[in-house]
């Protein structure tokens, strides 16, 4: 799936530097296939005849609550993008953008992510490339600030609760600690580059684009670096209430993500709510280490590892994985493809 190239109707070099993002159908197929295979394995290994007879209809409304929480996350994401763009994005544009971002994140490797597509889509909504880039970077920064708060929370609660499953073993525990350290370290670098010393970003760009293969686009890169520094200074000049609102929206989005698998499980059977929340938080932090497109295959396994032991009836594990991925992943892909196609039709 390739978006046609497009230049904003301005004379700025930023719009001219806009590149055409590319989402390979291979990534989409691989992501879907890995997810289906992983879910199938879990269902086959945990299913026992007569499982559905143990379902309690009185718990089913929880699934509608799960859908509502998923919709709330999308709304908060759109509101966050609209805030970051200083009102340049309309509400329809913000919703198209967050859905397209979710779609791209769901079908591309974690090393690529959905930010390039989201940046391009934002320029199609009339926001300059420099502004779009800083919006994406500020969003990533807030996510890592959230990580920096979540990690100590897990470490403290880990003294009283078994946050890291025993089944993970020593290797799993060490891996989680390395993930925690990497998240905090990267968040610190972003905070320094965007909010403390924006000129360091420009210096970094200058160094990178001295490489022989990148020299031909050095001039455009330096122009964008200047724009990036200018927009960084604009963010630094925002009042405290702006940062409070931005972090509040970010926190709301993450709480929705963490709550979703908890609500799905509780819609099937009772479980320890506190442990579900803590394990869900730890599980979501570990997703960053899954290299497959959209984390498919790996996130299903992590669900079983972190939340499976908390489900009394093992036969419900496969059903819980299926419902969670259906709401958090498959619906997002469907809505995202619909939103993403709008940019292609526009051109």
> What is the pLDDT, as a whole number, of residue 112?
59
Residue 5 covered by a domain: no
> What is the pLDDT, as a whole number, of residue 3?
38
Task: Tell me the per-residue pLDDT of 218-250, one tens digit each, with 9 for 90 and over.
Answer: 676 677 667 667 767 777 788 889 999 999 999
Which position has the higher pLDDT, 6 or 272?
272
Residue 16 covered by a domain: no
Q: Looking at mean pLDDT, say which of 117-126, 149-158, 199-208 comes out highest.
A: 149-158
Residue 305 covered by a domain: yes
Q: Could you tell me which residues come within 8 angstroms of residue 29 by beta carbon, excluding any fewer than 6 positions away? A: none
CA separation for the pair 269, 206 (Å, rounded): 56
> What is the pLDDT, as a whole number, of residue 248?
96
Residue 7 covered by a domain: no
Task: Tell me the per-residue pLDDT of 75-86, one tens digit each, with 9 for 90 and over.
Answer: 999 999 999 988
> What is the pLDDT, as a whole number, of residue 16?
36
Residue 98 has pLDDT above 70, yes or no: yes
CA distances from 169 to 22, 173, 183, 213 (A): 39, 6, 21, 44
Q: Which domain holds residue 172?
A: 23-47+57-346
Residue 240 covered by a domain: yes
Domains: count for the chain: 1
Q: Could you tell me which residues come within 8 angstroms of residue 185 by beta carbon, excluding any fewer than 6 positions away? A: none
Percent above pLDDT 90 for the chain? 32
Question: Does the pTM of the predicted model rise above 0.85?
Answer: no
75-78: long-range contacts at Cβ-Cβ below 8 A with a sequence spacing of 24 or more?
Answer: 76/249, 76/252, 76/253, 76/256, 77/101, 77/102, 77/249, 77/253
Residue 76 has which token pair?
């908060």
Closest CA to 297 of 38, 71, 103, 97: 38
Instruction: Please answer whether residues 277 and 163 qualify as being in contact, where contact means their C-beta atoms are separated by less than 8 angstroms.
Output: no
Average pLDDT over all residues of the chain: 81
Residue 123 covered by a domain: yes
Residue 2 covered by a domain: no
- Tell me how far the alpha carbon of residue 257 is from its chain's centroid: 9
> What is the pLDDT, as a whole number, of residue 322?
93
Residue 66 covered by a domain: yes
> What is the pLDDT, as a whole number, of residue 215?
65
> What is the pLDDT, as a whole number, of residue 145?
86
Task: Tell me the per-residue pLDDT of 27-52, one tens digit each, with 9 for 90 and over.
Answer: 788 889 999 999 999 988 888 777 77
């Amino acid at each position: 799936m390739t978006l046609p190239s497009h230049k904003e109707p301005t004379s700025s070099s930023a719009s001219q530097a806009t590149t055409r993002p590319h989402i390979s159908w291979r990534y989409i197929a691989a992501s879907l296939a890995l997810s289906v295979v992983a879910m199938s394995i879990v269902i086959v290994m945990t299913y026992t005849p007569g499982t559905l007879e143990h379902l309690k209809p009185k718990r089913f409304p929880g699934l509608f609550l799960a859908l509502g929480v998923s919709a709330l996350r999308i709304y908060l994401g759109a509101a966050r993008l609209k805030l970051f763009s200083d009102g340049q994005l309309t509400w329809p544009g913000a919703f198209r953008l967050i859905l397209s971002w979710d779609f791209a994140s769901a079908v591309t490797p974690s090393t690529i992510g959905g930010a390039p597509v989201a940046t391009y889509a934002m320029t199609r909504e009339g926001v300059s490339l420099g502004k779009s880039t800083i919006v994406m970077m500020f969003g990533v920064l807030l996510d890592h600030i959230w990580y920096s708060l979540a990690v100590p929370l897990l470490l403290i609660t880990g003294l009283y609760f078994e946050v890291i499953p025993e089944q993970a073993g020593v290797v799993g525990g060490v891996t989680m600690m390395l993930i925690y350290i990497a998240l905090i370290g990267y968040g610190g670098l972003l905070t320094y580059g965007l909010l403390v010393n924006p000129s360091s970003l420009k210096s970094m760009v200058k160094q990178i684009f001295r490489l022989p293969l990148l020299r031909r686009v050095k001039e455009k890169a330096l122009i964008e670096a200047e724009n990036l520094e200018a927009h960084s200074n604009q963010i630094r000049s925002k009042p405290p209430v702006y940062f409070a609102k931005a972090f509040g929206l970010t926190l709301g989005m993450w709480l929705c993500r963490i709550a979703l698998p908890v609500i799905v499980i509780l819609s099937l059977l009772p479980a320890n709510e506190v442990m579900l929340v803590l394990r869900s938080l730890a599980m979501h932090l570990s997703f960053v280490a899954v290299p497959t497109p959209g984390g498919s295959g790996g996130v299903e396994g992590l669900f079983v590892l972190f939340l499976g032991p908390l489900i009394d009836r093992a036969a419900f594990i496969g059903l819980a994985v299926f419902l969670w991925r259906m709401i958090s992943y498959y619906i997002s892909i469907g809505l995202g493809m619909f939103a993403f196609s709008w940019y292609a039709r526009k051109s």
